[in-house]
Chains A and B, each alone.
Chain A
Amino acid sequence: MADGPTTRLTCQDVIGLLVDYLEATLTEETVSAFERHLEICPPCVAYLRTYRKTRELASAAARAEMPDEVKARLRELLLEQLARKGGGRQRGRSREERTS
């Protein structure tokens, strides 16, 4: 794909540039050519919109929060490790221990 003021992009070019377009890393000339293509190509407009929405939905779907009980089990195991490693419990106390 030649990059210049009269560059004409195909649908294949536009879809191939989506990551860079959404990250705003394209040159001004390529952005102009990209947006000129969108003006005349409703399927690519639909693709861009649904691609952007997919990113948003996938981000939410793949996000998992750590359950409190997992956190508590982890802390207990690590305290044991620290104690085994050299008396970690004696050298410092946690915030909860200090305030209890």
Chain B
Amino acid sequence: MRMLDRLAHTRALDRLAPRPSARVDPPPVVSLGGSSVAFERRELTIALAPERHATHPRASLLGGCLAPVALPSGPALARDLVCLGARAAGRAVFLDTETTGLSGAAMAFVIGLAWVQETELRCVQWTLSRCGGEAELLADTLAQLEALGPAPLVSFNGASFDLPLLRLRARRYGLSARALEAEHIDLLHPARRLQRGRSRDCKLGTLERDLLGLHRRGDIDSAEIPEVFWSWVQSPNDARARARLQAVRDHNIVDLASLPALAGWLAEVVREPADLDQALRVARHLDKLGAPDQARMLLARWVDAEPRGPSGARWQAAALELASHERRAGDRERAAQLWRAAWLADPGCPDASEAWAKHLEHYTGDFAQALRVARASRLPCDQRITRLEDRLQRTVARASAPKPRPGPGPELLTRGEESESGAGVRYRLLR
């Protein structure tokens, strides 16, 4: 046949000198005609409370790293997830996959699901045995998900990676991925909000180490995971390949088990921030979740708790944030107090000076003070300064009539009084 002849030419060329790129020893001829099993499913149970019993799964996974970690119970977990943004408070299902690559055309060959059942964390894990079994694996996984009825579905970085991948693969095989459309909480985003800058990075392993005290021993590097699958699927009887695959599966289980612990830790911080910086982050988090009032109350508690003579840029940032919350809530005097205090703490700070100068100019009418404030900033806004100078000149030129301006409360204005010396503006506190 023609193709064989032509291939023979190519093979003849190979006999001359092997090309450096094709330096691969072909493995024994692979044919998995015997194995008709598409996937392997195993189930595992982990107790929620830490135990040091040697035969317990906790002790065996990855050098017993899970042993000291406490996992939250069902109701506690539901509360935690609400703190992290869940709307429904049903049974949460955790999801994690191991794939053959990071691109969109990769294939998931280990899928793990976990959920809390009374005092245990039940895990189910599917492993692909042959390339052709992906359709059956996905069908089984999706069926299990439907049966569980997850509310919500929790993962780490699943919103941008795991779920779209699973949806694409399901669509290729014509499976309905309705179960994946349930509410989804991605723990990466709250973790980033709360930990960015405080940890080296926001990878799951780093967070486990820093926050949960979970040190994996003998873990496999995530860059080597795709290779494990390829070498296993080519030679399933090889002991070494099998051992490495087992390592990948253990890695997956530990990933799954650390998710509820991580959720618990994050929720704890959200409920009770330990210091001002955390409080600020939590306030932003709550704002993102759509609970600005809670954010405001939290910030108010922390800002007022600082002793007089506030110091530090953090306090200033917190004060400014609280001020913007107050302004949005309608409490302008409180906002003004905060702006003033923030500016006094560091007169050069551009944000504080801008906010305070804006209020002075548009709501109080104290142009001289506003000008002073604006000039004191490290990054002065020229437009504002020239405008203030103009206005000051004009008011000085006119004798005594103050400019009418729209403001939230007329009782805040000082009529017939020029504040030339910048003595400040008197206002009533509204609480």
Is B a genuine binding partner of A? no
- Name B's A-contacting residues (CB within 8 A): none
- Name A's B-contacting residues (CB within 8 A): none
